[in-house]
Amino acid sequence: MNLLYCLDENYNKQAFISIMSLIKNNSPGLCIHIIHQDPDTFEKYRKTLSEFNNSKIFLYRFENKENVEFPLGVSDHISEATYYRIFIEQHLPNDIDEILYIDPDVVCINNIEKITNEIFKKKLFSKCKIKNVVNYYGLIEQTGSIFIECPTCNSFLTSSYSEVLIRDKNFNIINNGSKGLIQLLSLIPTSYPGHNIITEDIGSIVVKKDNCKMNVKHFLVHGRAKQSENRGCSDV
């Protein structure tokens, strides 16, 4: 399980305590990634944490390679490290499929693996009585086309009006199971050229489960391409 912390020297001790609580209350296999303003100040804590065999610690120095301006600036209430999670694609390995961000002042008292999609849905029902929660993938640039989550496989589905292809860095179509750039095709957009879009998202075509009744293409979204720009829908 991959976990992410973003911090500066002011939260070294808090992050150390938080990570210790994770290590003591979870099974082996934790991969803890830390994006830090000055990693040298955290090195003594990293050495102590590395003595535990049930986890791995990865420490990265934050670099704003594109000199992106922070939306709300930096002040006594908003530290620079607050923005680091926006830049995770530029610092973390691109083979990470999922990662859970944790604030440095969080203390873990139970197994964090309980925080899963299914448990979230059950909690949402018990607290808010919302029974049907469906995840989906889609782009505002391709109006009308959304790819609904398969209730059996937890992957995304194409429809009769849409298609998904996966391409490598040279834009060649690659085999099922391999990761690459997601290309979205749709019959719905007609008033603008949104019918065929190659995204900066990384995905892969997967095989559906044996008990799945959805006879369409299944795919996963693994995150953004490592060199993609940080931008929103108003800046494409």
Q: Structural domains in the chain?
A: 2-115 (3.90.550.10), 136-224 (2.30.38.10)
pLDDT for residue 53 is more than 80? no
Do residues 9 and 79 make contact, with C-beta atoms less than 8 angstroms apart? no
Note the residue count of the chain.
236
Name every residue whose Cβ is closer than 8 Å to that of residue 123 and which is 6 or more positions away in sequence. none
Residue-wise pLDDT tens digits, 88-143: 888 888 888 778 888 998 888 877 766 666 677 777 788 888 877 788 888 877 77
Q: What is the pLDDT of residue 235?
A: 43
Kindly write down the DSSP assignment for every residue of 167-187, as one continuous string: E-TT--B--TT--EEEEEEES
d(C-alpha 52, C-alpha 24), whole Å: 9
Q: What is the pLDDT of residue 234?
A: 43
Dihedral-angle region of residue 223 (phi above 0 means left; psi in -120 to 50 means alpha; beta otherwise):
left
Q: Which amino acid, 78?
A: I
Name every residue whose Cβ is closer than 8 Å to that of residue 206 and which is 6 or more positions away in sequence. 153, 155, 176, 177, 218, 219, 220
Residue-wise pLDDT tens digits, 206-225: 988 888 888 899 999 887 78
Do residues 176 and 207 make contact, with C-beta atoms less than 8 angstroms apart? yes
First to last CA, the chain: 33
